[in-house]
Amino acid sequence: MCVTKKITIIIVLISCDTIYVFLSDPGWTSINRGVLICDECCSVHRSLGRHISIVKHLRHSGWPPALLQMVQTLASNGANSIWEHSLLDPAQVQSGRRKPNPQDKVHPTKSEFIRAKYQMLAFVHKLPCRDDDGVTTKDLSKQLHSSVRTGSLETCLRLLSLGAQANFFHPEKGTTPLHVAAKAGQILQAELLVVYGADPGAPDINGRTPMDYARQAGHIELAERLVECQYELTDRLAFYLCGRRPDHKNGHYIIPQMADSLDLSELAKAAKKKLQALNNRLFEELAMDVYDEVDRRENDAVWLTTQNHSTLVTERSAVPFLPVNPEYSATRNQGRQKLARFNAREFATLIIDILSDAKRRQQGKGLSSPTDPLDLGIDDDQHDYDSVASDEDTDSELTTQNNNNTMDSSDLSDGPITLQEYLEVKKALASSEAKVQQLMKVNNNLSEELRRLQKEILLLCFQVSKPEKHGSGTDSDYDNTQTYDLSLRSDSRQGRGESEEGGGGEAGEPDPTLPCTEDVILKTEQVTKNIQELLRAAQEFKHDSFVPCSEKIHSAVTEMASLFPKRPALDAVHCSLRLLASSASRLQVECRKAAPSEPGAPAVDYQLLTQQVIQCAYDIAKAAKQLVTITTREKKQ
């Protein structure tokens, strides 16, 4: 698929939970978190469940082009910093709060960190409370409603991470955020909203859907994509069985047929009648659970084709059944886990019945009153689990479970089954396992750490050269509500701080002692240019270039600092200048260690030295970005 091959070119920043790894061929992604993840972290992400992290393989899974572009855009623009906001504060490093190192064990060190990061949201940015009731979900949702018409995916993801509702209905505008994104032609924003649960068929105050908005605005591609999103569940189920999706121009459903579909057992007939008698709410819940099970089985198949089989049996890397979702009842969670015990034929029969009944229900061919929840064809006297299993549990039948997930292609009249194709790929890869192992060792720890920090610095440099612009508010689709500062800031104060001498002036007035923004940006560009020269030297292992590069950086930092007053009125400026100066000094000290040592002196650990040098460079770039942000904000007041 050309889109997935393109990923090797367009991805420039990969956010892993333990380290940034610059690869030409990345592995997995968490779609709703906007980050790319390594194989190690993937197993932990999957164990969290789709309600926490929606995991997908970049090469072995089918990708709608717009969805892939959305993930790439978030990953390359530092979405990982949203989930690690507080860890970027230097004070957290001094307090011992840090990310796990690459050499740390997956369990418990890395897994506990990933759970804290994505399940507990322990490191996300906390907005300051206002004088009244604080920042409410409604406030955040209104801002999301305004922001989705722009191209700033990171801003919208940050709002969603704080609790903004993707299906928020604006009481004054009479629309949802998806209506606004559709009207503006923001296809990537629409993808993000749908991932977070936005309904493509939701009506506005006049009964028009986001698809209607897109068509009326001439965004035909977006309108067609929204139709696909509306039928994502049934499309995914059909593709799982027969490898085809409907075109939605000649019909919205493809219903595969079993070769002996007329020869149904009495148990199957009874189960089908119960499914047809479910009310719409219970039917939708069952369909969503089966969709999650399809996703689990497909990811399991991909995992088997891409992993080193010798480590698969020793690592806690498998997901033998759907993880517990605490928002669901115990009964529903038990039913979800029972789906894993269906063999391929039983599971295919259930999917076909769901597809058939979904089509019937949409066409309005109703049945009589609803009955009890569906009996999934397993005797209640033979419980699969005595209680709802924990996502920490393991299953000794894991290796045999995946072998039961295949089905003879002759059972389907519509074509080959996807899992069979996966198993064929698995067999081919198994014959070249030695080559796979060799490729897995291409990136050593030094190059990983170097490229991680290099990309972070380049991202900061890009943000410095393009300071945030605030809209004029003249467009009717924008709210006149308060805009909350979602940028990364080291200062705890909002607005203008008081002068150390007590003469800070009135709140809200610009600080006349600050230099003009253009001068600050000009000096910052010189700093970042010198940093990039240092990074190239580090990447090429030219350690003898460290000292001259650090001297250039120190000189540029001194010139930049001279633009600001010696006793700045704002605490934020003071802190940033202090970080800038101290980091430049530390950089010089570290770089001098790379100079040729005297005979008999201890050998230099260049791997550790390079990590320290690049960390100092990152701190300098971060401080420079903070100064540009503060100056821009103050001058606009």
Q: 395 with 322: CB under 8 angstroms? A: no
Best mean pLDDT range from 73-87, 100-114, 379-393: 73-87
**Helix (H) or strand (E) run with residue 57 in it:** strand 55-57
Query: Does the structure show a pLDDT above 50 at 473?
Result: no
User: What would the two tokens of residue 203 be?
Assistant: 């009506």
Q: 467 with 632: CB under 8 angstroms? A: yes
The residue extents of the domains of the chain are: 1-119, 134-242, 266-362, 517-634
The backbone region for 560, taken as left when phi is positive above 0, alpha when psi lies in -120 to 50, beta otherwise, is alpha
- CB count, 10 Å around CB of 577? 21
Q: 581 with 557: CB under 8 angstroms? A: yes
Query: Does the structure show a pLDDT above 70 at 431?
Result: no
Distances (CA, A) of 353 to 113, 234, 242, 250, 289: 41, 11, 15, 21, 14
Q: 585 with 554: CB under 8 angstroms? A: yes
Q: Which 8-state DSSP code applies to residue 20? A: -
The backbone region for 595, taken as left when phi is positive above 0, alpha when psi lies in -120 to 50, beta otherwise, is beta
C-alpha 259: how far from its chain's center? 41
Sheet holding 35-37, edge to edge: 35-37, 28-30, 55-57
Residue 125, pLDDT score = 86
Q: 268 with 297: CB under 8 angstroms? A: no
Q: What is the DSSP string of 172-213?
A: TT---HHHHHHHHT-HHHHHHHHHTT--TT---TTS--HHHH
**pLDDT per position as a tens digit, 340-356:** 999 888 899 899 999 99
Question: What's the mean pLDDT in 586-610?
Answer: 79
- Strands (DSSP E) along 444-520, which ranges? none
**pLDDT per position as a tens digit, 224-253:** 999 999 999 999 999 999 999 999 998 999
CB within 8 Å of 412: residues ≥ 6 apart: 241, 242, 256, 257, 258, 259, 348
- Listed residue (126, 118, 43, 132) closest to 80, CA to CA: 118
Q: Which 8-state DSSP code applies to residue 37? A: E
Q: Going by CATH, does the domain composed of 517-634 fall within 1.20.120.330?
A: yes
The backbone region for 164, taken as left when phi is positive above 0, alpha when psi lies in -120 to 50, beta otherwise, is beta
Map residue 596 onto helix, strand or coil: coil
Q: What percent of the chain has pLDDT over 70?
A: 67
Q: Which CATH number among 3.40.50.880, 1.10.357.10, 1.10.220.150, 3.40.50.1370 corresponds to the domain 1-119?
A: 1.10.220.150
Residue 414, pLDDT score = 37
User: What would the two tokens of residue 113 be?
Assistant: 């960190």
Gap between the Cα atoms of 110 and 444, Å rounded: 19
Query: Does the structure show a pLDDT above 50 at 592?
Result: yes
- CB count, 10 Å around CB of 313? 10
Peptide bond into 565 cis (omega under 30): no
- CB count, 10 Å around CB of 315? 14
Question: What's the mean pLDDT in 363-379?
Answer: 44
- Listed residue (406, 359, 344) closest to 254, CA to CA: 359
Residue 474, pLDDT score = 36
Residue 149: pLDDT band by 50, 70, 90 thresholds?
A: very high
Q: Which of 238-242, 303-307, 468-472 is predicted with the least confidence, judged by mean pLDDT? A: 468-472
**pLDDT per position as a tens digit, 480-533:** 333 333 333 333 333 333 333 333 334 455 667 788 888 888 888 889 888 888
- CATH class of the domain comprising 134-242: mainly alpha
Question: What's the mean pLDDT in 24-47?
Answer: 87
